Amino acid sequence: MRISKHGMCCLLIGAKLVASVATAQAAGAVSCADISSQSLKLKNVKITKAEALPSSDKYPAHCLLQGTVNDRTGADGKHYAIGFEMRLPDDWNGRFLYQLNGGNDGEVIEATGDPKEMNALGGKSALSRGFSVLSSDSGHSGKDPANHDAGLAASNMFGLDEQARLDYGFAADRTMTPIAKAIIRLRYGRRPQFSYMEGCSNGGRHVMVDASRMGDLYDGFIAGDPGIDLPRAAVQHAWDVQNLSLADPDIRKSFSRDDMALIAAKVIEICDALDGLADGMVDNLRACQKAFHLEELKCPGAKTPTCLTGEQVTALTRIMGGPRNAAGKQLYSDWPYDGGMGSSNWRFWKIESGIPPWNNEPLIAIMGAGSLSYIFTSPPTKTPGTPNDLLAFLKSFDFDRDAQKIYATDGAYKVSAMGFMAPPDVDNPKLLKLRAKNHKLIVYHGQSDAVFSVNDTIRWYERLAVNSGGNASTFARLYTVPGMNHCAGGPSTDSFDMLSAMTEWVEQHKAPDHIVATVSAANKEVPANWSKTRTRPLCNWPAVARYKGGDPESANSFVCEIPK
Ligand code: CA
């Protein structure tokens, strides 16, 4: 039986279009144990594990498959391969999900599409919904024992090998896509009816790059807090560290927790009601930027708990303005003031991690510095992997000389960091391949993300809107999340199910006007005066949520409208 996207073979069960399940009986299907390098017959693909797992409390019965692709010796003499895992449920819904992972990749995360790895799933894993899920390490091992001596830079060392850079940027995704679809065909006797990808942070970046490079190969793309300009965002790390040092030479002391809480409280005081309801959330982000002035918090005299020093005001003003070179050229993006800036995740990224082996230095000063030094600049700088050395690399980073290295190539590194890390059309997005196939993209972004600026994503989306004659919402939608930090957290409704919204859009042509978000029970930063069941609509940018009357804790009391 031929499976078509028009549902010829399919049953309408409830509200969802579900492929008729004939898993074990389908012609050409094989059992889990019979999936092997030999039966798959794909060059350079090794299957190392094929194990049928029974159902558990968490997941349905499924086939766990592990393997490697393109085993090779790199230019640095080290071993590389794309490590991967697939989980194929016995009761398959006909859909395929590529789970894109965060950080520097370098680890095969369990291919369960689990909410702990991928928020935006509304608490239910993709595997338990019946998806076949793929996860990969994007072509390198972050725990290669050969890199042990590199200390905290070990997970960045792959940046010395050109192919590993390309795989991390986009090539592993391109390589794995037909392999995963072939495995699905072997297991079930038919190809996936619908294919999706989803990820947040670096995973969101993968999704954005793939939506641009291979928008024809997946029906739906879901990108969270995406690092669309990741090398440029890494230049911001150096800018942050150098400017925080103006407030205190020890950046961990540059802003206390109380200082950041003071700033966030002032943002709420000035901006909260601009969206029509004082509810602890800044929905009208643009109006807020015009109304809020950090200088109003500057101490008239000595520092007290209710004000900031002049150095702190200068430091944060420069950080929020984004990095510039000596000629004043913007090198990344500016940032909006929002109610989530006092949260622990914001602090973890920019100011202080609380991780003793890192000397409690923030994430940008450790992982961020290693990435900028080894991966995002050409030629790479072999910075020793101690907290002090990594911090020193950022402190001495020159915004004229060094910032250009994210665009540089040489004999050993023929593609620049921006070339392999960013979507090829990032500065002038068109998503031509995606549009030609009527495929879809959903992007969401926390307004208080400390590592990738929501303003950069908004600017990208507005350019896409111009490039598509104002019709961007027919194929791409952006949802900003007030108060949310990087991918989750902060005083926000940070639990939402983008995957269901996407499948409905693709399969039932039901475009998501808004997406209902709820507070997470696990989120300790939800203010005490909010209902534990608060819901809010996330609105299709540039619309924002506006209170229309009724229960202020319910999404039903809001409408999405474009601010005047
Ligand atoms: Ca509000």
178 near 204, Cβ under 8 Å? no
User: Is there a catalytic annotation at residue 20?
Assistant: no
For 394, half-sphere exposure in the C-beta direction (CA atoms, 13 angstrom radius) is 34
What would the mean pLDDT of 402-415 be, rounded to a whole number? 97
State how far the alpha carbon of 334 is from the alpha carbons of 84, 219, 237, 491, 519, in Å: 37, 32, 13, 22, 28
Question: What's the pLDDT band for 370 if we cut at 50, 70, 90?
Answer: very high
CA of 276 to the centre of ligand 1 (A): 6
Catalytic-labelled residue, pool 486, 492, 495, 514? 486
The pLDDT, as a whole number, for residue 16 is: 38
Q: What is the pLDDT of residues 282-329, one digit of tens each?
A: 999 999 999 999 999 999 999 999 999 999 999 999 999 999 999 999
Amino acid at 443: V
Q: What is the pLDDT of residues 210-254, one digit of tens each?
A: 999 999 999 999 999 999 999 999 999 999 999 999 999 999 999
**Of the candidates 256, 93, 120, 97, the residue with the CA atom closest to the CA atom of residue 176:** 97
Report the chain's C-alpha Rg in angstroms: 24
CA of 284 to the centre of ligand 1 (A): 8
Residue that is written with structure tokens 């450790």 in the block: 366
Q: 482: cis peptide before it, omega within 30°? A: no
The pLDDT, as a whole number, for residue 95 is: 98
Percent of the chain with pLDDT over 70: 95
Q: What is the DSSP letter of 118?
A: S
**Of the candidates 100, 173, 167, the residue with the CA atom closest to the CA atom of residue 133:** 100
User: Is there a catalytic annotation at residue 449?
Assistant: yes
Predicted model pTM = 0.95
State how far the alpha carbon of 450 is from the alpha carbons of 174, 197, 342, 487, in Å: 30, 24, 11, 10
221 near 440, Cβ under 8 Å? yes
Q: What is the pLDDT of residues 139-156, one digit of tens each?
A: 999 999 999 999 999 999
C-alpha 558/C-alpha 283 separation (Å) is 11
Catalytic-labelled residue, pool 155, 201, 353, 453? 201
The pLDDT, as a whole number, for residue 118 is: 63
The pLDDT, as a whole number, for residue 117 is: 64
Sequence-distant (6+) residues with CB within 8 A of 334 are 320, 321, 322, 453, 455
C-alpha 63/C-alpha 112 separation (Å) is 11
C-alpha 361/C-alpha 432 separation (Å) is 42
Question: What's the pLDDT band for 26 if we cut at 50, 70, 90?
Answer: low
**Of the candidates 276, 164, 166, 218, the residue with the CA atom closest to the CA atom of residue 439:** 218
The tokens of 208 are what? 């954005």
The pLDDT, as a whole number, for residue 121 is: 81
CA of 495 to the centre of ligand 1 (A): 18
Beta strands 132-136 and 95-99, pairing class: parallel
State how far the alpha carbon of 341 is from the alpha carbons of 239, 259, 338, in Å: 18, 10, 6
Q: What is the pLDDT of residues 419-460, one digit of tens each?
A: 999 999 999 999 999 999 999 999 999 999 999 999 999 999
User: Is there a catalytic annotation at residue 201?
Assistant: yes
The pLDDT, as a whole number, for residue 123 is: 78
Question: What's the pLDDT band for 120 if we cut at 50, 70, 90?
Answer: confident
CA of 484 to the centre of ligand 1 (A): 14
Sign, CA dihedral 34-38-43-49, equals: positive
Catalytic-labelled residue, pool 402, 449, 456, 494? 449
Cβ neighbour number for residue 71 with a 10 Å cutoff: 13
pLDDT above 90 (res 83): yes
The pLDDT, as a whole number, for residue 164 is: 98
CA of 274 to the centre of ligand 1 (A): 7
pLDDT above 90 (res 564): no
Q: What is the pLDDT of residues 165-209, one digit of tens each?
A: 999 999 999 999 999 999 999 999 999 999 999 999 999 999 999
CA of 558 to the centre of ligand 1 (A): 11
Average pLDDT, the chain: 94
Question: What's the pLDDT band for 6 if we cut at 50, 70, 90?
Answer: very low
C-alpha 236/C-alpha 250 separation (Å) is 18
CA of 111 to the centre of ligand 1 (A): 38
CA of 321 to the centre of ligand 1 (A): 24
C-alpha 564/C-alpha 559 separation (Å) is 14
The tokens of 282 are what? 């800044």
C-alpha 223/C-alpha 234 separation (Å) is 19
What would the mean pLDDT of 344-371 be, rounded to a whole number? 97
Give the residue with greater pLDDT, 124 vs 402.
402
The pLDDT, as a whole number, for residue 209 is: 98
CA of 547 to the centre of ligand 1 (A): 9
CA of 300 to the centre of ligand 1 (A): 30
